[in-house]
Amino acid sequence: MKKKTKDFFERVLLEIFVDKYNCIICDKELRDKSRYGLCPECLKEMTFVKDRICKKCGRLQLNEADYCLTCQNHLRYFDFARSCVVYDDKAKEIARGLKFGHRKYFAKYVSNFLIDRYEECFKDVNADFIIPVPLMKKRQEERGYNQAEAISKKLAEHYDLEIRTDIIAKIKQNSEQAKLSGKEREENVQGVYQVTKPQDVVDKRILIVDDVMTTGSTLSELAKILIKAKAKNVYALTFASTRYKITGESLEDDKVEL
């Protein structure tokens, strides 16, 4: 009971004493207002995903090929996915603080990354609504919020999009995706999600939002069940994505530490 009380007050303090004057990563005092909540030094260490990306999953590539080997050799159900930054050290600190550190206020800054990337990649898509990647009810209660939903709010307001959290439910608790290989991730998400209101997705253009994309297995599985429910198009936007580093055609070696 004491631990729960301590956790509660810690969350309250983090919501009240936020980061108006300090970098959200290094805590250095900010001289000027920062759109991303970062000092110039930390911002320079963020790798924005722009050129040399896979046209399907949007991950940063190591060569000039249009599509990564994963997308060449495995069916992807989303039309295309894009991310804002590479999941390197600084992006990892932001994502982990938001997901595991009770730093919900990070979401407003992550949303600014998403807003800018949406303008670059999705302005002609005309999405009908956003679906944040859902959590199990128990996991969301433990965390206090769904980070995917939290980072979607400002994005939705900026582009006048509706957020729908009632269309897809996570119906089965799967194993943690972290440390699983790409192939294991692909198998781990099968049958985990369910479309609860199929009538609401017919002929709709849907944008799925999440914090981090590793292999894209979760996004593809969500797109799969939405397409099966007769959605017209499914796209995905994430804050960060891992670098593409597979040396062969198999997903087995594509392991990522979250």
pLDDT at 174: 58
CATH fold, domain 50-241, is Rossmann fold (3.40.50)
Q: What is the pLDDT tens value at each position of the chain, 258 positions in all?
A: 455 565 555 555 555 545 457 999 999 999 888 999 999 999 999 999 988 899 999 999 888 889 998 899 889 999 999 999 999 999 999 999 999 888 999 999 999 999 999 999 998 999 999 999 998 888 888 889 999 999 999 999 999 999 999 999 998 765 454 554 455 555 666 678 999 999 999 999 999 999 999 889 899 999 999 999 999 999 999 999 998 765 443 444 444 433
pLDDT at 125: 94
Rg (CA), the chain: 18
CA distance 157 to 166: 18
pLDDT at 41: 96
Beta strands in 6-128 (DSSP E): 80-86
Exposure b/e, 119-144, CB count within 10 A at least 16 = b: eebbeebebbbbbbbbbeeeeeeebe
Do residues 151 and 98 lie in contact, with contact meaning Cβ atoms separated by under 8 Å? Answer: yes
